[in-house]
């Protein structure tokens, strides 16, 4: 089984031990649960979008397609700004 080792100050270790005691678990179990919960929270901040092959091809085609500019937007950008009039 993989192993993780790290160093910490005695103050931090005391806080961790107090919290583990309150939860009724060992230091190791407390650290594993806490770090796993933090990791899951961070991973959930980034959505994962799964695409099948056809959807992926459609996505790539949309990225590669030339941009179609709306004529109304093009006309708006062609006008001189109000402060230049």
What stretches of 4-80 show up as alpha helix (H) in DSSP? 10-23, 27-44, 53-64, 71-78
Express each pLDDT in 4-52 by its tens digit. Answer: 899 999 999 999 999 999 999 999 999 999 999 999 999 999 988 899 9
pLDDT value at position 84?
83
pLDDT value at position 77?
87
Residue 55's pLDDT band (boundaries 50, 70, 90)?
very high
For 50-62, what is the mean pLDDT?
A: 96
Residue of 40, 28, 37, 39 whose CA lies nearest to 1: 28
Residue 85 has pLDDT above 80, yes or no: no
Question: Cβ(27)–Cβ(16) under 8 Å?
Answer: yes
Separation between Cα atoms, residue 3 and residue 17, nearest integer Å: 20
pLDDT value at position 23?
97
């Amino acid at each position: 089984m993989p192993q993780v080792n790290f160093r910490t100050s005695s103050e931090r270790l005391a806080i961790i031990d107090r919290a583990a005691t309150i939860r009724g678990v060992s230091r190791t179990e407390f650290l594993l649960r806490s770090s796993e919960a933090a990791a899951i929270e961070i991973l959930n901040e980034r959505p994962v979008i799964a695409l099948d092959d056809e959807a992926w091809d459609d996505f790539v085609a949309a990225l590669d397609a030339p941009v179609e500019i709306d004529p109304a937007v093009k006309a708006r950008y062609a006008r001189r700004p109000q402060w230049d009039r």
